[in-house]
Amino acid sequence: MILERLGVLTDEVSAKFDEALDWIEEQGLKHVEVRVIDGANVSNLSDEQLLDVKSKVESHGLFISAIASPVFKCALDPSRPVESGDVFGQKEESVEAHFGKLNRVIEIAKLLGTRNIRIFSFWREQEPEKYRGEIIELLGKAAVIAEREGVVLLLENEPSCNGGFAEEVAAIVRGVNSPGLRGLWDPGNEAFGEREAYPAGYNEMKEILGHVHLKDAYTNSKGKTRCVPLGSGNVPVIAQLKALVADGYDGLFTIETHYVPEGGTQMMGTRMTLEALRELVKGV
């Protein structure tokens, strides 16, 4: 059941889009999320380029499940010190500029035939809870736009953002209270932030789920955390997958490993995670 709903972020396989699609089709996966395509962030592509992307994906028997956008990976107020993270080729821009980016990404989603758009909750403040009301107000405006346009914004738990962990994402989504905003649950991100992904994190997220990313992370004895293949880190993957099935989650799953073996390639890291997942689901 899970494998029938399984896809992958293309640039987790290869920076070369055609190469990634060939591999994904060979592996029998069902869908792809798009983030960076041949070195360009999907949010910067022209309509002509996007239609070519859609044609290539469909020619491989796949569909596009979500736009992995960088929307709202920005500072609420540039004058305050905040954390930051990977922006996948995007420069730092204002909140206002990101609302413009949101409008473009909605157009892109429609061109590519998906309703799902991954977003974030602004770079993490030193006291995130102090700004939660402002975040809820801003993402509420975004959710109104999404609902009007017939798309769904998926708020990911990203440790470098204010919705860094499960309880924070859940509080924001519930505060917005709109079908235009749902949670994107990434147990691996929770583990990367040295939080308990399951059951604690999942119990916060399970009522607001719109999508699931699959990765794993491990913290060594020196306190250094890194991503690892599924089942070899701190995420109890089998228990988590069983809970999703038991709780009636009927959405999609996307592999996002962030793991490259030493001396290896992204494709090798993603293959290792996929092979591990195929074994793990036998216990679900």
Per-residue pLDDT of 161-192, as tens digits, reads 999 999 999 999 999 999 999 999 999 999 99
Task: With CA atoms as reference, report the closest residue to 274 among 73, 3, 76.
Answer: 3
Domain that holds residue 186: 3-213+250-257
Long-range contacts for 107-113 (Cβ within 8 Å, ≥24 apart)? 108/42, 108/43, 108/45, 108/50, 108/67, 109/67, 109/151, 110/149, 110/151, 111/47, 111/50, 111/51, 111/54, 112/34, 112/50, 112/53, 112/54, 112/64, 112/67, 113/54, 113/63, 113/64
Q: Is residue 63 a part of any domain in this protein?
A: yes
Distance from C-alpha of 105 to C-alpha of 107, rounded to nearest angstrom: 5
Mark the ranges of the chain whose per-residue pLDDT is less than 50. none
- Residue 85's pLDDT is 83
Length, in residues, of the chain? 284
42, part of any domain = yes
pLDDT at 84: 86
Can you tell me which residue has the tokens 């999508």? 211
Which residues share a beta bridge with 156? 184
Backbone angles phi, psi at 89, to 5 degrees: 90, 5
Q: Tokens 């880190």 appear where? A: 233
* CATH number for 85: 3.20.20.150
Q: Are 36 and 88 in contact (CB under 8 A)?
A: yes
The pLDDT score that the predictor gives to residue 88 is 77
Any domain includes 198: yes
Query: Residue 268: inside a domain, yes or no?
Result: no
Say whether 124 sits in a helix, a strand or coil.
coil
Domain count, the chain: 1
Q: Which two tokens stand for residue 180?
A: 């235009």
Kindly state whether residue 128 falls inside one of the protein's structural domains: yes
| 229 within some domain | no
Local structure of residue 180 (DSSP, 8 states): T
- Please tell me the number of Cα atoms within 13 Å of 44 on its side-chain side: 13
Rounded CA-CA distance 162/124 in Å is: 4
Distance separating alpha carbons of residues 72 and 98, to the nearest angstrom: 6
Residue 265 included in any domain: no
Confirm whether 152 is domain-assigned: yes
